Structure 1
Amino acid sequence: MAAEYDDDLWEVPEVESCEEYAQAGDGVGEQEADAARECGTDGFDDGQPVGYEADELDCKLLEHFGGKIVRKDLTSLMKRGANVPTFVLEYLLGMYCSTDDDDAIREGLDRIRRILSENYVRPDESERIKSKIRESGQFTIIDKVSARLDEYSDLYVAQFTNLNIEPFVMPADYVRDYTKILQGGIWCIMRIAYNRADVEEDDFGDDVFGDERPKKKSSKKKRTPADSPFSVMSLTPIQMPNLDLEGLIEQRQYFSRDEWMDVLLRSAGYEPNVLTERERLHFIERMVPLVERNYNLCELGPRGTGKSHIYKEVSPYAILLSGGQTTTANLFGRMNARGEARLGLVSHWDCVTFDEVAGMRFKDVRAVQILKDYMASGSFARDRDQINADASMVFEGNINDSVANVLKTTHLFDPFPPEFNDDSAFFDRIHYYLPGWEIPKMRSDLLTEHYGLITDCLSEFCKEMRRRDCTHLIDRYFRLNSDFNKRDEIGVRKTFSGLAKLLFPDQKMEKEDVRWLLEYSIEGRRRVKEQLKIMAGVEFIDVNLGYLDAENPGDMRVIGVPEQSSDTLIPDGPLMPGQVFGVGKSLGGEFAVYKLENKAVAGEGKFSHEGIGNSRPVKDSVEAAHRLFVENASRVARGMHVGSKDFLLYFNDLQSKGLSDEVSLAEFVGLCSAACNKPVLDAMVVPGALRISGTIDDIRGLEDIMRVAKNAGAKRVLLPTSSIQDMQMVSPELVSGVSPVFYFPGDYVGAAQKALGL
């Protein structure tokens, strides 16, 4: 039927490039703009753009990226009233508001509001739109469409995301022109026609009135997409159907290093002028999983720093798992399934982000092992098959204390749930640890009002750059030092490659540019190694990652991490009298460092303690130490009046490993220190279980004791001479870092004298 229809609400410009889109948008006629204003906004924000002053970078973007840029304040303005994907909204803004003329921008905003009000398909309005297409004969809609090839009928079969109609035939010309339709789908403007039958049969009327017309035989043939009454009249993408990557890379030459970094940040919605260079690089690092295949990133830090923004709003190729919860089947595919059900998230997305890692839970105990396998090799086994995938993994979470306090008690991977918390093999697969505590909390001035690339352009750039590799650029000028193992090298090279692809897509890097990115890449991997050393000790003792100048091998630089400092559990300087650090195995089986804080006050020789609770073994051990102290104090040092003082102990489980009954020798030393008002030797730690019988248990697990002591900052350890032989089996690095102070076996009085320097 040739009825009137509302297709003229949106006249689709028949153009083939982004530049022509911009020209079409900039040429909005006054008559069309007036009509747009008259139709109203239908719920969309009718605010107008605020005052704006272009800077030099805006002018460069307008000159070199016309049609591919948008003012980000306009995105925020339109987003308030239009619940559509950001990349779709920005593409429309790029088409109609890519200008510095205020009148043209207002006209463009009005036109976009009109388009979204009348033509955008919302899922709850699907039946109304279907009816409108039928009644009008044809109608123009905005929706996401995807297609696949049906090889048996030799047709491309398509379906919409929001408009609920049966699969229909997609003309092959559109699939050839816009290949992204076959790769997950594309948002577009489509003119859909409804083909109604010319003659409608009236079987009931025929029966009543005796129509002798021959009956049309009913067909039992199964309906196919070719039988659909809906057909495509025209299609114009409102996402970038194809990206001219080489053309975009060619424009990089007109921007300095810092300018190009600012372009990327503004394109993601951030204002670089209020960030330090280091903060800007942190924001760029968040983009690396989008541009580098099989990249594993961890970011832990305070709340409110916008950790998930990039993966939720900027890229349509990333998926955010809120709460961090999923299943093995969802992540890696279903066992014994066929087709798409056999593929999981890692096969469908470029980046899978676990938000709030503390909530990560897997019912299948094998899930963590499969995840480790995938993070290491980019492949995993399902049923009898080995499946490869390219998705990067991002782990985000919150740290609820200062980094300094966290490092005094545990490691920086502590927010992970128990399934991961002490699995050094899992964390060794992390390529970069982004220090989220260095990123400022989101505030108004961090959101840019300037021009940036449209989000879809940025995301397509990242996707296309995944095919390229820049790891070799390091070797032009530098070599990695001998502390690197294979996983360290892979992590650093992948980080460097991702940053280089973002900041230097043309690969034109000077020596200092390479050094800049290399040092940043090494720092993030070293942060991982430092936590692994706390977890597993000697296995990850080689943490001094650095590099050498290829032209001058004698010029070697070791890269540290800023949070490393002398503020360790055991300080270098003297303690207060009565305070001592003990080391022993907790009741749970882990070695840990404990601080025993004794205080002597005027009294009657009583002994009390806090921090032990109802733990009978620990209580018995410290009371045994006190009893032996009362009996032998005069042997340690003359002039101690034990009977005229009360002694108070606070048992401090610094590393939250659980209490230990193997630090009673340390408590004996601490009581002696409090009584004679003399501190123990600087940076000393005391192992050993002193029993009520006056015997000291043999020292077992000496290497673990030395490792835990060194990680805590100890420089000395009090040991019996019987441990000299065991010292031969301890790593030289540990022995050189913690010097032993020896006493005769079983001589706890002599041990106290050695510890106090008497």
Structure 2
Amino acid sequence: MNVRSDLNRKVVEVFGRLAIDKRRLLFSQLQKRGISAYVAEWVLESVVPGVGPLLPEEAHKVQDWAKRVIPGPKDQNIIKHRLSQGETVRVLTPVEVEVDLNRKKKPSHFARLRLLGIDEAYIPTELLEYYPDLLRHGMWGVVELSQLAEGTAILSFKPMQATVNLELFKDTRRSFSLEEWRALLLISMGYNPLAFNEEETNLLLARLLPLVQKNLHLMELAPKGTGKSYIYENISPKVRLVSGGNVSPAVLFVNNATGQWGLLARFAVVVLDEVQTLRFDKPEEIVGGLKGYLANGKLTRGGLYETASDCGLVLLANIQLDERQRPVRDILVEELPFFLQETAFLDRIRGIIPGWRLPKLSGDYLIGPDTEISVGLKSDFFGDVLLAMREDLGPDQYCARTVSLKGERPYKRNEESVRTLAAGFMKVQFPHGDVSREDFERFCLRPAIEMRQLVWDQLYRLDGEYRQYEHNLECA
């Protein structure tokens, strides 16, 4: 990618306080405290605001703040002891609120602060009215805690909250060339834009599609070390990464015993990382529920509860490569758990990101101390504005009008998938809607077809039913 070094200056001029030099995050060492980039950059902006490189005195100040406010895994008992001694304690932590109408202990709503090992803290109802996301998927923020006669209580809560003006964001796109904008997107994701070619940039941007498109379900297959989960860990608290442990129908869909909705109902994107190593309870029930959900966006389990959700599902899996760095197997999904290889399930996956075409991440590919172009969008704002793009239906309508597949009888899901993926690429790269037909075909439509073709290739090989349709996907 050939981008001039003055892009740093332009990003600051256009976005102001919403821009940040990503090297500040690196020098702050905040992520070593176990917090995501969207939290760490919020801390930087709150404690030592600025867009230039982090100065030594600023690094010292933010580290001092972190020691006092960000609890480590060994600090639970210390914080509880301070509370027991009547202290008011101020900590940065995720807060989740649950409501149990049947519980005998009042009030029926209570806060969980899992980093602190506190499962039932009193929280004022006014905070729930101000910040309803506490009830949906939880929020990160600075809380003041005290120990009252009734138990642990939250006295105040200052959330991480980016302000998103979607129309203003769209208009900022006009200040940048396409190459500059694609570089800005990579920097905002934490990557060095000068290290990737055009195809690799397309693949990295494809990881953003489930954020900008409702109910967009993807799979990424790659060897270890390509950073499949990196962006999902660091982009937004509304994206939930599941890595290790048990995955059950209650966790994904709904707990029939309590009526509590699972991850797919409460988050914008759910990512199952390294699916080969996850332990799935009742896999037949899981794949049955997923097939229904991926097809129509309805969540249910045994008919007891039903709701709609626009959550996207992303499956990340490792695959083996040969000496030419190509997949060993023609059937790419053979290394997935058997129940996820069912063609009726795979058909509902919109596209496959061929992560094996990306280089293994090293210092050269991420923002580092010597990265020349390093100013991007703050992660909390970047994640929120991408999610806000879900409500912009203009690109979807454009693709519905202009994209159709060749053939006498094109397969409906192929056409729908290509349109959805192309509209997602358009939202990410051309949010202002101003795109030439040539650029649309090169940067939106072609990558979309390639991603869906990989799914279609699997279906074609696994099930003769699909061979009644054209094998090669081409647009009319």
Q: State TM-score, norm by structure 1.
A: 0.55
Distance verdict in 2 for CA 1:513–1:75, change over 3 Å:
same
What is the CA–CA distance in structure 2 between the aligned matches of 1:361 and 1:156, rounded to whole Å? 31
> What residue number does 2:389 align with?
465
Please tell me whether the aligned partners of residues 120 and 152 of structure 2 are also in contact (alpha carbons under 8 angstroms): no
Tell me what 1:121 maps to. 71
- Aligned 8 A contact 1:178 1:242 in 2: no
**SS state of the match for residue 240, structure 1?**
coil
Q: How far apart, CA to CA, are the structure 1 residues paired with 2:292 and 2:119?
A: 41
1:493 aligned to 2:422? no
Structure 1 residue aligned with 2:265: 347
Paired residue for 2:217?
Answer: 296
Q: After the TM superposition, which residues 53-132 of structure 1 pair with which residues of structure 2 at under 5 Å, given as runs?
A: 55-77=5-27, 78-79=29-30, 81-99=32-50, 105-122=55-72, 124-132=74-82
Query: Letter of the aligned partner of 2:45 in structure 1?
Result: G
Structure 1 residues 144-223: aligned runs within 5 Å: 144-147=94-97, 158-163=111-116, 164=118, 166-170=120-124, 172=126, 174-192=127-145
Provide the secondary structure at the position in 2 that maps to 1:401. coil
How far 1:260 sits from its partner (Å)? 1.7
Cα gap change, 1:437/1:191 in structure 2, threshold over 3 Å: closer, same or farther? closer
Gaps of 5+ in 1: 1-53, 197-226, 549-758
Which one-letter code corresponds to 1:532 in the other structure? Answer: L
Aligned residues: 457
> In the alignment, does 2:366 pair up with 1:440?
no
CA contact (8 A) 1:324 1:355 kept: no
Aligned-partner Cα distance in 2 for 1:324–1:230:
31
Task: Please give the alpha-carbon distance, in whole angstroms, between the structure 2 residues aligned to 1:243 and 1:105.
Answer: 29
Aligned partner (choices 466, 470, 476) of residue 542 of structure 1: 470
Higher deviation after alignment, 321-330 or 431-440: 321-330
Please say if 1:236 is aligned against 2:158.
yes
In structure 1, which of residues 398, 407, 414 is the aligned counterpart of residue 334 of structure 2?
414
Q: Which residue of 2 aligns with 1:320?
A: 241
Alignment partners' CA distance in 2, 1:370 and 1:361: 17
- Tell me how far apart the structure 1 counterparts of residues 133 and 163 of structure 2 sit (CA, whole Å): 7
Helix, strand or coil at the partner of 1:236: strand
Deviations 1:495-551 (A, max 9, x none): 112222222223232222322211221121122222222222363341232223xxx
Could you tell me which residue of structure 1 aligns to residue 311 of structure 2?
Answer: 391
Q: Which amino acid in structure 2 is aligned with residue 458 of structure 1?
A: F
Q: For 2:339, what is the secondary structure of its paired residue?
A: coil
The residue type paired with residue 188 of structure 1 is G
Deviation at 1:312, TM superposition (A): 2.3
State percent identity of aligned pairs. Answer: 28
Query: Which deviates more, 145-154 or 344-353?
Result: 145-154
| Equivalent AA in structure 1 for residue 437 of structure 2 | K
> How far 1:488 sits from its partner (Å)?
0.7
Note the residue ranges of structure 2 that are not aligned, 5 or more in a row: 369-373
Note the alpha carbon deviations across 1:206-257, whole angstroms, 9 max, x for none.
Answer: xxxxxxxxxxxxxxxxxxxxx557462x5433x2254333333332222222
CA shift for structure 1 position 280: 0.4
CA RMSD of aligned residues (A): 3.3
From the superposition, tell whether residues 533 and 166 of structure 1 become closer, same or farther in structure 2 (CA, over 3 Å): closer
Deviation at 1:83, TM superposition (A): 2.6
TM superposition shift of 1:378: 1.7
Q: Distance in 1 between the 2:472 and 2:183 partners?
A: 32
- Give the superposition deviation at 1:284: 0.4
The amino acid of 1:170's aligned partner reads P
Cα distance in 1 between the residues matched to 2:187 and 2:361: 14
1:614-653 to structure 2, matched below 5 A, reads none
**One-letter identity of the residue aligned with 1:245:** L
- What is the rounded CA distance, in whole Å, between the counterparts of 2:340 and 2:259 in structure 1? 32
SS at match of 1:300: strand
Residue number in structure 1 paired with 2:347: 428
The structure whose Rg is larger is 1
Give the letter aligned to residue 473 of structure 2.
Answer: L
* Alpha-carbon distance between aligned partners in 2 of 1:363 and 1:155, rounded to the nearest angstrom: 30
The structural deviation recorded for 1:259 is 1.6
Quick one: distance in 1 between partners of 2:136 and 2:387? 12
How far apart are the structure 1 equivalents of 2:377 and 2:186?
Answer: 10
Q: Is the 8 A contact 1:148 1:157 kept in 2?
A: yes
271 and 338 in structure 1: CA distance in 2 versus 1, 3 angstrom threshold: same
Query: Do 1:96 and 1:109's aligned partners in 2 also have CA atoms closer than 8 Å?
Result: no
* Alpha-carbon distance in 2 for matches of 1:288, 1:79: 28
Deviations 1:389-441 (A, max 9, x none): 222222222221339898896422222233344x3222222211211221111
**What CA deviation, in whole Å up to 9, does each residue of 1:552-571 have, x standing for no partner?**
xxxxxxxxxxxxxxxxxxxx
Matched to 2:454, the amino acid is R
